[in-house]
Structure 1
Amino acid sequence: MALTMDDRIAITDLINEHGHVTDRGDFDALSTLFTEDVTYDVSALGGGVLVGLAAAREAALALADANPVAHHVTNIVIHEAADGVVHARSKGLGVMADGSVGSATYQDTVERTAAGWRITHRTVRPRRTPLRD
């Protein structure tokens, strides 16, 4: 399956929409971005590996005011593997209530479902050291 330009736009929009949905606390809309059984790996941030939308919602609620007030995504790169699996890599900036900013890399596995493109696996890695992967 070769990705069309429409596929690439849909996947890019999917990744971009995450910040809007998360920042407004619209946890019901997470199902428009992720599969119900998504694996959301935030272990590098101390949050462990979350499985399922309910676990992601609970983790965000537990952080409460420690959540970023703004998530910004940039530098989205989409690759299709030989087996048809789609991988996307992007950069994220999180702006905290005190004005501090953190940088992260998102590594996503994206799948076409009956409802459209959805993220099935996301790994978030903070960027704290320059010139290293």
Structure 2
Amino acid sequence: MLSWEDRFALEELVNRYSYHLDLWQVNMWVELFAEQGTLDESALGMGVYIGHQAIAAYGSELQADVLHVVHLMMNHVILESDTTQASGCVFALVEAMTRSSGHTRYYIRYEDAYIKTPSGWRFGKRTILPMFPPQIVSPA
């Protein structure tokens, strides 16, 4: 069973994901993943990024294309497995203004696998799944 401290740390991990990404703190965002962690956006037609180097490169690509972004995270549920691993789910409304696509709205679900490392809880894998098709609010 997870302690309250672990549950709080997992909530903080999820919140820092959107905080660092929305403020373009790419290096801090990457550090939220385990060294060989995975970010899987394939269900949105994007890639699967494994390890800090690949996730950082993807973050830099996003930063070059995205002009404005905000992640509104909600309904985080932690499904525990033991004291060093857990899984969770969180829903989000994401608004993004990009050079290439314009203003797009995403309703998504994150399916997470968390790993407790010596540095604290990290994403072992974060899979992003659409809840609705992306909505083009205004084209580029």
CA contact (8 A) 2:84 2:116 kept: no
Amino acid aligned to 1:53: H
Give the TM-score of the pair, scaled to structure 2.
0.81
Q: 1:34 to 1:67 in 2, by over 3 A?
A: farther
> Segments of 4+ in structure 1 off by > 3 A?
none
Partner of 1:76: 76
Distance 1:121 1:68 in 2: 25
Q: Give the gaps of 5 or more residues in structure 1.
A: none
Q: CA deviation at 1:65?
A: 2.6
Amino acid aligned to 2:4: M
Q: Give the gaps of 5 or more residues in structure 2.
A: 134-140
Q: CA deviation at 1:116?
A: 0.6
Residue identity (%):
30
Q: 1:6 to 1:18 in 2, by over 3 A?
A: same
Amino acid aligned to 1:102: Y
Distance 1:61 1:31 in 2: 11
Aligned residue pairs, count: 128
Q: Encode CA deviations 1:79-113: one digit per residue, 9 max, x unaligned.
A: 11269630010001111225542110001110111
Q: CA deviation at 1:28?
A: 1.4
Which structure has more strand as a fraction of its residues? Answer: 2
Answer with 27-36 or 110-119: which moved more: 27-36
Q: CA deviation at 1:62?
A: 2.3
Q: Encode CA deviations 1:46-90: one digit per residue, 9 max, x unaligned.
A: 112110122122223224334761112111000112696300100
Distance 1:10 1:39 in 2: 19
Give the TM-score of the pair, scaled to structure 1.
0.85
